[in-house]
């Protein structure tokens, strides 16, 4: 779910760099974030955190939000119908193959998928109907040959 609430262990964009929320200290009214680049910790005020931190989402999180499978999202991404994710380069060691979507990308995908009709396109359903009729005819032919053989 998309929310402005800061969540522990989630990844955020802070001043152009990716950070992971390490702890949320409500008593001290501060948030401790850790850089994914060099493990540097930064303390920011809890009240200002929603303004300073911009949430980024993995494809799995986006798939849950739009109620589709991750490979469906990748398919529409390849065809250019939805935005491409932020690709992480070699500078982020353990996250170099990860891809992230911004909040605006997620909103755009929610709108895209909510305007689509569920199910297969009509062209392919006609093909399926033709295949079913073809199988029906084969079954009838097989049943006739069994009856004639007796």
Strand order in the sheet with 99-102: 41-45, 30-35, 17-25, 11-14, 54-57, 99-102, 86-87
Least confident of 1-15, 18-32, 71-85, 112-126: 112-126
CA distance 69 to 62: 9
73 CB-contact burial (10 Å; exposed 0-12 / middle 13-18 / buried 19+): buried
Q: pTM of the entire structure?
A: 0.69
CA distance 2 to 103: 8
pLDDT score, position 12: 93
Least confident of 66-70, 79-83, 113-117: 113-117
């Amino acid at each position: 779910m998309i929310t402005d609430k800061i969540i522990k262990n989630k990844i955020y964009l802070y001043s152009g760099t990716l950070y992971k929320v390490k702890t949320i200290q409500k008593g001290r009214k501060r948030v401790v974030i850790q850089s994914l680049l060099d493990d540097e910790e930064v303390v920011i005020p809890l009240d200002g955190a929603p303004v300073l931190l911009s949430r980024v989402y993995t494809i799995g999180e986006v798939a849950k939000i739009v109620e589709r499978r991750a490979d469906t999202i990748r398919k529409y991404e390849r065809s250019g119908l939805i935005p491409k994710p932020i690709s992480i380069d070699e500078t982020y060691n353990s996250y170099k193959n990860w891809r992230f979507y911004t909040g605006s990308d997620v909103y755009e995908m929610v709108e895209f998928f909510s305007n689509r009709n569920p199910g297969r396109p009509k062209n392919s359903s006609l093909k399926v109907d033709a295949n079913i009729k073809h199988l029906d005819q084969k079954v009838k032919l097989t049943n006739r040959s069994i009856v004639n053989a007796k």
